[in-house]
A and B are shown apart, each in its own frame.
Chain A
């Protein structure tokens, strides 16, 4: 069965360190997204990609970067982790060929920046 996975599921890091969160999907979807979820803010879009070599900034992109070298993966990098980036991160994908734009979410990565 097709799926979307994230790793690690939990991560503790220190302020200033570079961190990369992995996202891998086997749906063969063109569109991939990264969100963060915080109490009181809901899901906020960090970066998104409509295909290989395409990346776009979302609502809260400062301090984050992504790259898309193949269809299956969209890793999210925190260049220099800050305590404000402590959050739960979700990756999602959707099929650009469909009309519904339904997004399929991964299980999330809980990141703690000390």
Chain B
């Protein structure tokens, strides 16, 4: 069966450290993968997209990698800040254009 797995346990890290979140998938062949941020009581907000032929994408303190052999994407936040505390969702685009399939998300807590 198809699965998108993100660590359901919260990730707690200290301010200034690098946070690394994982998205693993099985039985999908995604054309590309997106990462979203969701704050409590709000809708998800798009952060980054990476295509199947790209290994890495960066945006300011954010970095995403995509390994189609391992079927895994890693999402890094460098020099993390308490304001980065949120739930981060990965989403795959597969098959029919425009449709996203989401993982369950990982909650990140950055402490002082």
Residues of A within 8 A of B (CB): 31, 33, 35, 40-45, 48, 50, 58, 90, 92, 94, 96, 100-108
Contact = CB atoms under 8 A, between A and B. Distances in A.
B46 to A, nearest CB: 5
B59 interface: no
A40 B104 contact: yes
Given A42-B89, A43-B89, A94-B98, A105 B103 contact: no
Contact of B99 (A41, A48, A102, A106): A48
Contacts of B105: 42
Interface of B: 8, 32, 34, 41-46, 49, 89, 93, 97-105
Given A35-B102, A48-B98, 8 more contacts: A33-B100, A42-B89, A42-B102, A58-B99, A101-B93, A102-B34, A103-B44, A105-B44
A101 B104 contact: no
B98 A92 contact: no
Contacts of A90: 43-44
B98 A43 contact: no
A24 to B, nearest CB: 14
Nearest to B8: A40
A73 B101 CA distance: 22
A33 B91 CA distance: 14
Contacts of B8: 40
A90 B46 CA distance: 14
